[in-house]
């Protein structure tokens, strides 16, 4: 017997899908903001002349990247249960710490790609080290690493689906619940796949609207 698609159960459970979609957006957005903040701080520390800061940055990156994301979430949800954090925040912290390590390496490489003379000239004009970093180095580094950051952001959105294992009612969790009630496997997972594709596409192309980012990406492709 051939399988016949039936989209009625999807429409009948649209409230759950919308709720899961909104939760996924909130989870991804908050995790992304924290990951960027962590990445900028750790990445900047990794590009300094201080051996202690560089070692600390490298240790954080290796520890976070070499531990599976699912383990990060279980640590917050189970091992640190005494903190009594809601599952949503456990997922946010897991995503942020894990993705922040990748952002840190991107930021570090971006800062390293800015010619040292740029910072020296900025200091010679009377700017402080912090001002030179904020006004001269960061803007140039951001333009160069935006394509890589877009990739990390899209990966974070997809990784947010793992939050379903710690009972966060995001898109994948709701899809699993609907599938268990209706047994319309294909329809359910086709629907959420399209929603994930929509989110990733919007974020990716949104970041590439940063001035100069698209030109830099095209230049990399042509050089390759």
Total of domains in the chain: 1
Contact 89, 72 (CB under 8 A): no
Question: How many angstroms separate the CA atoms of 156 and 112, rounded?
Answer: 24
Q: Determine the structural domain holding residue 204 and report its residue range.
A: 8-223
Q: What percent of the chain has pLDDT over 70?
A: 93
Residue 118 backbone zone (phi > 0: left; psi -120 to 50: alpha; other: beta): alpha
Q: Is the pLDDT of residue 29 over 90?
A: yes
Instruction: Give pLDDT tens digits for 40-67.
Output: 999 999 998 899 999 999 999 999 999 9
Torsion, CA 5, CA 11, CA 12, CA 17, rounded to 10: 110
Q: Is residue 201 part of a domain?
A: yes
Q: Is residue 1 part of a domain?
A: no
Q: Is residue 42 part of a domain?
A: yes
Question: How many angstroms separate the CA atoms of 35 and 4, rounded?
Answer: 43
Sign of the four-CA dihedral 182, 183, 189, 194: negative
Q: Is residue 100 part of a domain?
A: yes
Contact 117, 185 (CB under 8 A): no
Q: Is residue 68 part of a domain?
A: yes
Structure tokens at 34: 């924290």
Could you say which DSSP state residue 162 is in? G
Q: Is residue 3 part of a domain?
A: no
Q: How many CB atoms lie within 10 A of CB 147?
A: 20
Q: How many helices (H) and strands (E) does the chain have?
A: 11, 0
Looking at residue 149, which CATH number applies to its domain? 1.10.3720.10
Q: Is residue 103 part of a domain?
A: yes
Torsion angles phi and psi, residue 133, rounded to 5: -65, -45
Q: Is residue 102 part of a domain?
A: yes
Instruction: Give pLDDT tens digits for 101-147.
Output: 999 999 999 998 888 888 888 888 888 888 888 888 888 888 888 88
Contact 20, 196 (CB under 8 A): no
CA distances to 1, 20, 32, 50, 101 from 4, in Å? 9, 26, 39, 64, 45
Instruction: Give pLDDT tens digits for 73-109.
Output: 999 999 888 889 999 999 999 999 999 999 999 999 9
Question: How many angstroms separate the CA atoms of 61 and 82, rounded?
Answer: 26
């Amino acid at each position: 017997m051939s399988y016949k698609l039936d989209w009625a159960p999807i429409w009948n459970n649209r409230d759950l899908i919308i709720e899961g979609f909104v939760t996924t957006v909130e989870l991804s957005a908050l995790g992304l903001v924290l990951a960027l903040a962590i990445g900028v701080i750790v990445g900047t520390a990794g590009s300094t002349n201080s051996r202690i800061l560089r070692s600390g940055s490298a240790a954080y990156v290796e520890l976070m990247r070499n531990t599976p994301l699912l383990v990060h979430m279980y640590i917050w949800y189970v091992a640190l249960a005494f903190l009594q954090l809601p599952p949503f925040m456990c997922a946010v912290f897991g995503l942020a710490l894990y993705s922040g390590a990748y952002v840190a390496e991107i930021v570090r490489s971006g800062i390293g790609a800015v010619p040292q003379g740029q910072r020296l000239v900025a200091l010679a004009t009377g700017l402080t080290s912090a001002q030179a970093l904020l006004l001269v180095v960061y803007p140039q580094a951001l333009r160069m690493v935006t394509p890589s950051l877009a990739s990390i952001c899209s990966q974070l959105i997809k990784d947010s689906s793992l939050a379903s294992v710690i009972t966060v009612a995001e898109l994948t969790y709701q899809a699993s619940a609907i599938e268990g009630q209706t047994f319309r496997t294909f329809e359910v997972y086709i629907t959420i796949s399209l929603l994930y594709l929509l989110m990733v596409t919007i974020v990716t192309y949104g970041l590439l609207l940063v001035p100069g980012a698209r030109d830099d990406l095209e230049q990399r492709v042509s050089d390759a």
